[in-house]
Structure 1
């Protein structure tokens, strides 16, 4: 049924494309004339990118032709080739981490090959990087009309990040409550259901089909090039779940030369701050290893890894044991066509810690939770197709299949309690077209469908189909405008079909080289997950009932900001934002009559007309030629329920992040600091009804992490040895009601590339 609907939508898009593409394409000519014309009108750019300091080749530098879809990266020798370049004058934009971006003017004669050698000057602070998530094509981050934060893979490596949610706690404007991520106050907390942030890996959605949540253990942290965080409603390009923003993990390309990657780590939790919190006579431990390999064979290249991690848990019954795998296979069919396959998998067994017994037993759950466990098996396959049809037309297509099965023993200690099996199918056809008039079009179609079998949600199914288009153009040399719209049709089981139209507008005004002002507005929406619509369960004396009358959430996001590159010093970014929400879905306590008695139960309702306003400022700087680097970010948030004039739950008003690093030649040291003001509102009903004892205990969050990394080559290949102390001052805090945050812990790791 899902396949049939997908094929029908593909037929509609293909028919529309038959009418659209003649508008963009050149008039049809005989094949012989066309071939002769291409030989006369096109040329090649062959070149190399090297360091201006010592002339060494730079591997992985990005080269783009401004105003076109043509682009490439340098190989292991720093060389690159751009084929089928139209004759004439072009601007090459060259960028790389740790080097100042360069713009070179190149004239390409018809039918000839031009050779260039480009030198990049090192810089202590990374300038505006190349990003792909904001507009579904490569562009300089400073040229996007929305805020985009970028976290490099090295940041994850140096801190031995095991799951990405821990790293996101240090991204400006992002707050993570336990496992739920919130961008600029878009989300509070709903355990295990719904996400107002769309999670992607190389553009492939990574949300579950039943509860609509992010499974962080399934997101790769090995072989990561960068993590892009787009802030504000992104539904005009990405549809549902992008109501608060988009996070995209962009992995490295498979290497040309054989590379084997090894990582191993081990750690211990310290004793709790208060002796009465100690629940075991021994220290709890954690550890794991990862093994990966990348290489090219002929026209094929790949990266594949497997990881094993275990954690006995600093809280009782909060252990986990997991296997994860991730891989990318690429095959170059021709010089302009590439097919690839992304795959990942997770096998996990863990305990279940919902909340503490009371404050005197903050690291122990109530007795009924002690034997609870959850097991899950998940995998994803995503074939993709990339076609450079011409110097102005780029086509991408993908299909994603995600399968998951999880079960617990809640309410049935001797067997299976709740369980769900889900299949999710998602496909997209996208094109980027750069016109001769300087317009850059992005348009496409997307379809997703899911089917669930569960004793928790029933057996629902649903589908979504969408068409979208976006145009970017410059009415003057200093101004770049973006307009776009997306139409979504969605069906959730027995609920009637609904439609959503989401427009967007953006403007970037370049005051001078390295300084840009931005302005954007866009609408967003989120379809309620099956978990919010149909959950029927009980746990720890608390019952949840379904609500099939839920409506999609809606929003409008507005932003005004500025980005300024301070020569030889750093990058300053300032943003002011206003997010308006309608029909926000929140978990509520409601009264119902059961056998003549009044009972309090949980249910998801459209209850809130909300407004989230605030400001964000961040600074990245470097001193002494990069020997010392620092990053600081501050976010102010005014998140309010306009119906009750009360603050929204789990939204801290102030968030301050800081990071300082020292980088001599063979060792590094660093400190990360995170401060969140005391959350003004939580789920007070859990406290009033006696479900979570001492649940109103909470303080501001002030966490300091320290690290040291040593780069050595004792065996002729590079080895990194790291030592980490997290929460070095043993600060006690809660992110979520009745859940004490991680206590001080120590990690030692070894990482090598062979």
Structure 2
């Protein structure tokens, strides 16, 4: 869906303004921050018994990302690989995961509500989130708290909607770039009083159009979000509605050793018919009712629906997949805050989903990739998950957090095509599968001084298999053999301030069993084991003369913990315990040097993005050497209500791969874009 002049007409309709002043504020001291992802009532970041990162609203505004990876990779330990258009793959304390593993290992939230149903994930699901105008983004690395269940395995990302302003105001921001890129972000909000009650209303609309820097790779994307707030002496309420639409022409992998560095190849597209069309709508009502000074009740009913149709360009045969689901559910929590700093939260999450998937190959048979229908099925899913989350003040400086969640999942599968084997595909008969997972958590935070807090966190995460893991089977599999993935984690860390230096550091060790993944020849592995350990550090400090320095670095090892020998392509697919997992760089980093000038009316930033080398297949016979990319951003308030902004991405014009892969005997890459200039303006009133 291309919008032409409508993207410019909407700012006129809103009559609005700049997303930020030219100069960003420095991050708030950690001891002054509150995070809302851990509990419904919010948690002081200083005493949070585990890692938590926060991308501020001002950071969202300054970066002006046209792809969510540009923003989220600023958070420590996050390694988002941009594929083409709005596609991406995620890594958080993990290798870059694809297929069911990628869809099921990370939980994507909007104001604490999962954007997709458990079991119906999508590795690209973040393009549905409203990150462009977010009120902040919180990231937890490793297992989520007892508040969250399936998919909060390696980490979670919670995109927060912006709160309405107390008085009428708005924002319109436009950005122009190469290859026809145009982005328009527009927000208007207001607030008013009615007796003792306060109200707020906010609406935002985002348009993005890009002809693509590679052949046949343009897309149009539209997003909108509405939020209404209400508050009185006994109630806090906010309701949200979000919608997303994407129409994308997709450029597939380029193939050949280091093809990403070949100027004659990097802008080509061998599959110009590839595409992705997707839309999604979501709504939720967040209601907290205060019964008295000690007791409060939180209920969040929600509804979601999505549809997607796309060409599976990463597999031979040109298959077309159609999928979608709708869900209704509610998150419920009763909170008791006793005297002495103790808190008990009794919660229950319930959810019902109806989903479907159909996969057809229109092209002639290629080996085991057969022409015709591969799969056609529906799944009804029910999830019931009671949990207990507690916080105990053991002393003036020590806080214990403990919790446990029991999650029961029922899948009712109906096959709508012939049962049996066709090529590599196995279509199973109608069946019902159930999974019950228990995930405990124990954390301790101790304040050694006003400047330093240490923490230790033990947690288990689990996820019921994705429906695609269970029912999109292959000829070598046995129905019902897949079990819930389970990950155990130990984390030790500290956060605080040393003079003007704000920091958070953590070390972790994790083991995972029943790891489900797809090998380099596209065959499923159902019972893998892996281990993961590493250290992470996140820093910020102001410097002299208006400069400041911030960023993060991590060293991590992600290893197979089992052996697997295969007859097909053993040089690529054999697995040995203790060997690095493919697509798992040991070193990652993001360092930013900022400079505020012109009496605080302008700010610039030089960003260094580091990606270490990594293997691209399980046997370690192919590798990518990694890269270092530099980006330059600047923004200035030129008038009271007008700001100008510009950025140069890939400042040194490096030839690199956004993602390096190995499949079906070939080195495969999504190449990184050449040096590119983006510029625009903001207007506020």
Distance in 2 between residues matched to 1:546 and 1:296, nearest whole Å: 58
Match of 2:272 in 1: 370
Given that residues 340 and 384 in structure 1 are in contact (C-alpha distance below 8 angstroms), is that contact kept between their aligned partners in structure 2?
yes
Alignment of 1:484-523 (within 5 A): 484-493=403-412, 494-523=431-460
1:493-546 CA deviation, whole Å, 9 max, x = no partner? Answer: 334322111111110111111211111100001222223333379xxxxx9999
The root-mean-square deviation of aligned C-alpha atoms, in Å, is 2.7
Match of 1:551 in 2: 483
- Ranked by relative contact order (alpha carbons within 8 Å, sequence separation 6 or more), the top structure is 2
Alignment of 1:588-603 (within 5 A): 588=519, 602-603=522-523
Specify which of 330, 333, 336 is matched with residue 234 of structure 2. 336
Given that residues 193 and 531 in structure 1 are in contact (C-alpha distance below 8 angstroms), is that contact kept between their aligned partners in structure 2?
no
Match of 1:226 in 2: 136
Match of 1:119 in 2: none
Question: Do structure 1's residue 142 and structure 2's residue 142 form an aligned pair?
Answer: no
Distance in 1 between residues matched to 2:29 and 2:305, nearest whole Å: 42
Shift of 1:228: 1.1
Match of 1:620 in 2: 540
Distance in 2 between residues matched to 1:495 and 1:573, nearest whole Å: 45
Question: Do structure 1's residue 649 and structure 2's residue 582 form an aligned pair?
Answer: yes
Match of 1:704 in 2: 630
Question: Do structure 1's residue 470 and structure 2's residue 389 form an aligned pair?
Answer: yes
Match of 2:175 in 1: 265
Given that residues 423 and 451 in structure 1 are in contact (C-alpha distance below 8 angstroms), is that contact kept between their aligned partners in structure 2?
yes
Note closer, same or farther for the CA distance 1:191–1:309 as it changes in structure 2 (3 Å cut).
farther
Match of 2:566 in 1: none
Note closer, same or farther for the CA distance 1:492–1:432 as it changes in structure 2 (3 Å cut).
same
Distance in 1 between residues matched to 2:653 and 2:580, nearest whole Å: 30
Given that residues 252 and 274 in structure 2 are in contact (C-alpha distance below 8 angstroms), is that contact kept between their aligned partners in structure 1?
no
Match of 1:391 in 2: 293
SS at match of 2:329: strand
Distance in 2 between residues matched to 1:421 and 1:618, nearest whole Å: 38
Note closer, same or farther for the CA distance 1:709–1:306 as it changes in structure 2 (3 Å cut).
same
Distance in 1 between residues matched to 2:95 and 2:411, nearest whole Å: 23
Alignment of 1:154-169 (within 5 A): 154-169=58-73
Shift of 1:684: 7.0
Shift of 1:454: 2.8
Match of 1:302 in 2: 201
Alignment of 1:628-639 (within 5 A): 628-639=547-558
Distance in 2 between residues matched to 1:355 and 1:607, nearest whole Å: 29
SS at match of 2:303: strand
Question: Do structure 1's residue 747 and structure 2's residue 678 form an aligned pair?
Answer: yes
Question: Do structure 1's residue 132 and structure 2's residue 67 form an aligned pair?
Answer: no
Question: Do structure 1's residue 435 and structure 2's residue 372 form an aligned pair?
Answer: no
Given that residues 329 and 352 in structure 2 are in contact (C-alpha distance below 8 angstroms), is that contact kept between their aligned partners in structure 1?
yes
TM-score (norm 2): 0.80
Distance in 2 between residues matched to 1:442 and 1:258, nearest whole Å: 37
Shift of 1:428: 0.6
SS at match of 2:299: strand
Note closer, same or farther for the CA distance 1:389–1:350 as it changes in structure 2 (3 Å cut).
same
Distance in 1 between residues matched to 2:212 and 2:479, nearest whole Å: 35
Distance in 2 between residues matched to 1:564 and 1:421, nearest whole Å: 44
Shift of 1:235: 5.2
Specify which of 47, 52, 77 is matched with residue 173 of structure 1. 77
Given that residues 583 and 607 in structure 1 are in contact (C-alpha distance below 8 angstroms), is that contact kept between their aligned partners in structure 2?
yes
1:305-361 CA deviation, whole Å, 9 max, x = no partner? Answer: 1121111112222221111111111234x4222433211111211012231154255
Distance in 1 between residues matched to 2:62 and 2:654, nearest whole Å: 23
Question: Do structure 1's residue 245 and structure 2's residue 155 form an aligned pair?
Answer: yes
Note closer, same or farther for the CA distance 1:410–1:524 as it changes in structure 2 (3 Å cut).
closer
Alignment of 1:324-363 (within 5 A): 324-332=223-231, 334-358=232-256, 359=259, 360=262, 362-363=265-266
Shift of 1:629: 1.6
Question: Do structure 1's residue 198 and structure 2's residue 134 form an aligned pair?
Answer: no
Given that residues 407 and 416 in structure 1 are in contact (C-alpha distance below 8 angstroms), is that contact kept between their aligned partners in structure 2?
no
Distance in 2 between residues matched to 1:365 and 1:426, nearest whole Å: 45
Match of 1:379 in 2: 281
Note closer, same or farther for the CA distance 1:424–1:212 as it changes in structure 2 (3 Å cut).
farther
Given that residues 214 and 269 in structure 2 are in contact (C-alpha distance below 8 angstroms), is that contact kept between their aligned partners in structure 1?
no
SS at match of 2:74: coil
Match of 1:563 in 2: 495
Match of 1:610 in 2: 530
Given that residues 357 and 364 in structure 1 are in contact (C-alpha distance below 8 angstroms), is that contact kept between their aligned partners in structure 2?
no
SS at match of 1:455: strand
1:594-618 CA deviation, whole Å, 9 max, x = no partner? Answer: xxxxxxx634332321110111122
SS at match of 2:135: strand
Given that residues 31 and 44 in structure 2 are in contact (C-alpha distance below 8 angstroms), is that contact kept between their aligned partners in structure 1?
no
Given that residues 647 and 681 in structure 1 are in contact (C-alpha distance below 8 angstroms), is that contact kept between their aligned partners in structure 2?
no
Distance in 2 between residues matched to 1:302 and 1:659, nearest whole Å: 35
Note closer, same or farther for the CA distance 1:608–1:654 as it changes in structure 2 (3 Å cut).
same
Shift of 1:127: 5.3
Shift of 1:724: 0.1
1:575-599 CA deviation, whole Å, 9 max, x = no partner? Answer: 110011111111136xxxxxxxxxx
Distance in 2 between residues matched to 1:238 and 1:614, nearest whole Å: 24
Distance in 2 between residues matched to 1:684 and 1:732, nearest whole Å: 26
Shift of 1:187: 4.8
Larger-gyration structure (1/2): 1
Distance in 2 between residues matched to 1:723 and 1:474, nearest whole Å: 49
Given that residues 344 and 389 in structure 2 are in contact (C-alpha distance below 8 angstroms), is that contact kept between their aligned partners in structure 1?
yes
How many residue pairs match? The answer is 585
Match of 1:529 in 2: 466
TM-score (norm 1): 0.73
Alignment of 1:263-302 (within 5 A): 263-268=173-178, 284-297=179-192, 298=194, 299-302=198-201
Match of 2:164 in 1: 254
Specify which of 379, 386, 398 is matched with residue 479 of structure 1. 398
Distance in 2 between residues matched to 1:443 and 1:578, nearest whole Å: 29
Match of 1:578 in 2: 509
Distance in 2 between residues matched to 1:350 and 1:515, nearest whole Å: 48
1:202-229 CA deviation, whole Å, 9 max, x = no partner? Answer: 1121136634445223211344332111
Question: Do structure 1's residue 663 and structure 2's residue 599 form an aligned pair?
Answer: no
Given that residues 189 and 650 in structure 1 are in contact (C-alpha distance below 8 angstroms), is that contact kept between their aligned partners in structure 2?
no
SS at match of 2:246: strand
Note closer, same or farther for the CA distance 1:682–1:731 as it changes in structure 2 (3 Å cut).
farther
1:632-664 CA deviation, whole Å, 9 max, x = no partner? Answer: 322111111111221112111011220110112
SS at match of 1:602: coil
Distance in 2 between residues matched to 1:321 and 1:583, nearest whole Å: 39
SS at match of 2:289: strand
Match of 2:116 in 1: 207
Runs of at least 5 residues in structure 2 that lack an aligned partner in the other structure: 1-23, 83-87, 360-375, 413-430, 563-575, 662-668
Distance in 1 between residues matched to 2:281 and 2:476, nearest whole Å: 29
Question: Do structure 1's residue 727 and structure 2's residue 650 form an aligned pair?
Answer: yes
Distance in 2 between residues matched to 1:544 and 1:405, nearest whole Å: 30
Note closer, same or farther for the CA distance 1:659–1:546 as it changes in structure 2 (3 Å cut).
farther
Note closer, same or farther for the CA distance 1:739–1:684 as it changes in structure 2 (3 Å cut).
farther
Note closer, same or farther for the CA distance 1:544–1:380 as it changes in structure 2 (3 Å cut).
farther
Distance in 1 between residues matched to 2:236 and 2:384, nearest whole Å: 26
Question: Do structure 1's residue 407 and structure 2's residue 321 form an aligned pair?
Answer: no
